[in-house]
Amino acid sequence: GAGVSQSPRYKVAKRGQDVALRCDPISGHVSLFWYQQALGQGPEFLTYFQNEAQLDKSGLPSDRFFAERPEGSVSTLKIQRTQQEDSAVYLCASSLMGGGARWLTGELFFGEGSRLTVL
């Protein structure tokens, strides 16, 4: 498809389980972001990739969160030993240019998100 694709759309996990969320950005897009959106909140930055390089992971809330983009296209966000406070929608976004938001002069293209519920 032409847009950013995320899977799964919905994930229910038991507390303590590991989860993996996948993002397929728009082909050729250099920048890839992961955001976490809790209920009633705005998206909160988690991490940024420029091609395969993770240039900013300052938003990852704990060492249970890990993201990778090994070939500079598809990215996976992994959450180990999930906790109830991890329940949120995880949004992936991509943009054509590199440099992250510093040089953002146009759109970030967002996926529909993966809604994670931890019981």
Partner 1 sequence: DQQVKQNSPSLSVQEGRISILNCDYTNSMFDYFLWYKKYPAEGPTFLISISSIKDKNEDGRFTVFLNKSAKHLSLHIVPSQPGDSAVYFCAASASSNSGYALNFGKGTSLLVTP
108 binds partner 1 (CB under 8 A): yes
66 is an interface residue for partner 1 by CB under 8 A: no
Q: What is the rounded distance in angstroms from the CA atom of residue 10 to the CA atom of residue 109? A: 20
Least distance in angstroms from the C-beta of 15 to partner 1 = 25
Binding partner 1 (rule: CB under 8 A), the pick from 25, 60, 77, 100 is 100
How many CA atoms within 13 Å lie on the side-chain side of 61? 16
Name the DSSP letter for residue 17.
-
Q: Which stretch binds partner 1 (CB under 8 A): 12-20, 36-44, 65-73, 76-84?
A: 36-44
Residue 113 binds partner 1, judged by CB under 8 A: yes
Please say which residue, 17 or 37, places its beta carbon nearer to partner 1.
37
Place of tokens 């500079």: 72
Contact between residue 74 and residue 21 where contact means Cβ atoms under 8 Å apart:
no
